[in-house]
Amino acid sequence: MRNLLEELKFSGGRSIPSRILHAPLEGIMSPEYCRAFMEFNLVRSWTTPFIRISNSLPRQSVLDRKIQQFRPLPIIVQLMGSDRSLLSKTASLLSGLEHVAGVELNCACPSPDVIRSGAGGAQLRNPDWIKDALTALRDACPDCGLGVKLRAGFSSHTEMDAILDKVVQCGTDWIVIHHRTVLEKYADVAGRNERLSKAREIVKESALFASGDLFSPADACSLAKSIGLDGLTPARGMMRNPWLIREIENLCAGRQDGSDDAHPLLLLIRIVQLAAEGGHKKPGSIVEFAKNLFPSSNLFRLMSASKSPKETIEIIENFERAPG
Ligand SMILES: Cc1cc2nc3c(=O)[nH]c(=O)nc-3n(C[C@H](O)[C@H](O)[C@H](O)COP(=O)(O)O)c2cc1C
């Protein structure tokens, strides 16, 4: 089995310290979420939610502000768009910013609004566009890591081979595959392992990361081992169990469960405190996080009805005493 705890070095010389990465979560990864996760030592690097590049080039200072919340860890910045020239110029600006380890092109997002705009998962219908975009991005930031996030296809997973055949020609440092197609969105689908195995047969040079349904350390480790994956990117699993990456790391390393310090309520309280300090009175992202953390309780409803951060913290503390 590949060592998922090893540093991953990119061709341009930059690197990330391990290969079990918190997948991007647009709308959840607020500044307070990121800060608290770093304080609790739950991640070793970040991949940002997508930055959408539509019809103008963002100023470098604007990009710098957008990634500030992820510092000081190494950052992979995810970009989404359909204008290759703008995407490349943005990547070039990003590569000059502190802590940026790499840039990832999002060709996976299934949101109807994104698909209508021709970006994200819509690009899977045109593998040549993906190839040209990745080639342009590589030229624009040669010293920066470069990756792409894909789904197995747009309407059928049988599209995957043709897509990967193009992508592997671009010399990306990594490829993330979410095994579902765009049309499958988040439906239960059979054949995750078969789809990932097929991808592994085609992807030989780039590091191959899996995305999708990584909820338990045992399943994640056995998936990585059986397929020979180079990395894992849990997303919703991190909202349900923020210690998931740590637990996967421990299992991979054959260490005893080191999660004795796992206190999700303390993490939640810290996120509320940080939001209040940052002047964000009642961010919806925290309620959404609480809903995932304690799905069968009414905690998130009580939190969303609360009038102040102080009251929210009291609600969480009471819940700690009598979870229900
Ligand atoms: C609320 C939410 C926001 C997401 N935002 C992004 C995003 O910005 N970029 C991205 O590549 N994937 C995004 N994803 C997809 C996840 O990163 C991941 O690929 C997907 O949820 C499957 O993995 P999972 O089963 O471990 O959740 C998002 C998913 C969710 C649920």
pLDDT value of residue 303 = 94
281 or 87, which is more confident? 87
Cα(37)–Cα(184) distance, rounded to whole angstroms?
30
Whose C-alpha lies nearest to ligand 1, atom 21?
A: 235
pLDDT of residue 262: 79
Q: In the predicted model, is pLDDT for residue 324 greater than 80?
A: no
106 lines ligand 1 (CB under 6 A): yes
Burial of 3 (0-12, 13-18, 19+ CB in 10 A): exposed
Find the range with the poorest average confidence among 60-64, 98-102, 278-282: 278-282
Fold (topology level) of 8-260: TIM Barrel (3.20.20)
> What is the mean predicted confidence (pLDDT) over 64-78?
98
70 lines ligand 1 (CB under 6 A): no
For residue 1, pLDDT over 80 is answered with no
- Contact status, residue 117 vs residue 68, Cβ threshold 8 Å: no
Q: Using a 6 Å cutoff on CB, does residue 212 contact ligand 1?
A: yes
pTM, full prediction: 0.96
Distance 234 CA to ligand 1 centre (A): 9
Would you state the pLDDT for residue 257?
62
Residue type, 76: I
So what's the pLDDT on residue 280? 85
The pLDDT assigned to 259 comes to: 57
- CATH 3.20.20.70 intervals, the chain: 8-260
Tens digits of residue pLDDT in 142-188: 999 999 999 999 999 999 999 999 999 999 999 999 999 999 999 99
276, 269 Cβ separation under 8 angstroms = no
Interval between CA 62 and ligand 1 midpoint (Å): 24
The whole-number pLDDT of residue 69 equals 98
Mean pLDDT of 132-139: 98
Alpha carbon of 154 to those of 123, 142, 183: distances in Å? 8, 29, 6
Per-residue pLDDT reduced to its tens digit, 237-253: 999 999 999 999 999 88
Pocket test residue of 21, 43, 104, 211 for ligand 1, highest count of atoms within 8 A of CB: 211
- pLDDT tens digits, one per residue of 190-206: 999 999 999 999 999 99
Sign of CA dihedral 100, 186, 121, 201: positive
- Tell me the mean pLDDT in the region 221-235: 97
Confidence class of residue 282 from pLDDT cuts 50, 70 and 90?
A: confident
pLDDT at 95 over 70: yes
Ligand 1 atom at minimum distance from 237 CA: 26
Phi, psi for 106 (deg, rounded to 5): -85, 110
- Residue 321 pLDDT > 80: no
- How does pLDDT run across 3-25, given as a tens digit for each residue? 999 999 999 999 999 999 999 99
Say if residue 2's pLDDT is above 60.
no
With a 6 Å cutoff on the Cβ, whether 237 touches ligand 1 is: yes
Return the amino acid letter for 12. Answer: G
**Per-residue pLDDT at 323:** 61
C-beta of residue 126 within 8 angstroms of C-beta of residue 170: no
CA-nearest residue for atom 8, ligand 1, is 49
Contacts of 279 (CB under 8 A, 6+ apart): none
Contacts 24+ apart (CB under 8 A), 203-208: 203/164, 203/168, 203/175, 204/168, 205/168, 205/171, 206/147, 206/167, 206/168, 206/171, 206/172, 206/173, 206/174, 206/175, 207/8, 207/19, 207/173, 207/174, 207/175, 207/231, 208/174, 208/175, 208/177
Q: Which amino acid, 201?
A: E
Q: What is the pLDDT of residue 304?
A: 92
Q: Is the CB of 147 under 6 A from ligand 1?
A: no
| The predicted structure's pLDDT at residue 223 | 97
pLDDT at 254: 87
**136 token code pair:** 């342009």
Whole-number mean pLDDT of the chain? 95
Torsion of the alpha carbons at 210, 213, 215 and 220, rounded to the nearest 10:
-30
100-107 and 174-178: which strand pairing?
unpaired
Q: Say how far apart CA 278 and CA 152 lie, in whole Å.
A: 39
